[in-house]
Amino acid sequence: MNDLPIVADIRREWDWVRPGVEEIIAGQPQLTYRPEDVYAACVNQEATLFVRKGASGNDFAVTIVEFDKYSGEKGLFMWLAYLNQRGKKQASKLMEFFEQVGRDCGCSYVELKTPLEPLGTYYLKNGWELDTKVYTRKI
């Protein structure tokens, strides 16, 4: 497996990326976007697809550089991440890479959201700060 992800063309990778996007969306029914929205954002260069391919499976991440109009800072938002093999500290290894991507893009922070409590606990133990949790209730 390539050690580090590379930027990829969503058009060429969509056949294997789409099922991962669908799995993420199916597991988090609060998400309001569709797989096609991810595809369109990448095609329109509003988001960037990173892939890492290997014999045991493929991984991908989709990032967006966001601008905070109040602080003037840019942040690298980890919109989606899919790891074929979970565990083995894969996330921590990849976060160092994405922190560098953020620096290369002139970002002052990396941001992610997860409803998965074990991931939240992991990130807090590894140098991340809890800024906001977003909870919603339909009425």
Q: pLDDT (tens digit, 0 to 9) for every residue of the chain, 139 residues total?
A: 458 899 999 999 999 999 999 999 998 888 899 999 999 999 999 999 999 998 678 999 999 999 999 999 999 999 999 988 766 666 667 888 999 999 999 999 999 887 777 677 777 787 777 777 766 555 5
The dihedral over CA atoms of 128, 130, 134, 135, expressed in degrees to the nearest 10, equals: 110
82 beta partners: 60
Q: What is the sign of the dihedral through the CA atoms of 110, 115, 119 and 123?
A: positive
Segments in the chain forming alpha helices (H): 10-27, 35-43, 90-104, 117-125
Residue with tokens 């922190």: 99
pTM comes to: 0.85
φ, ψ of residue 111 to 5 degrees: the values are -130, 145
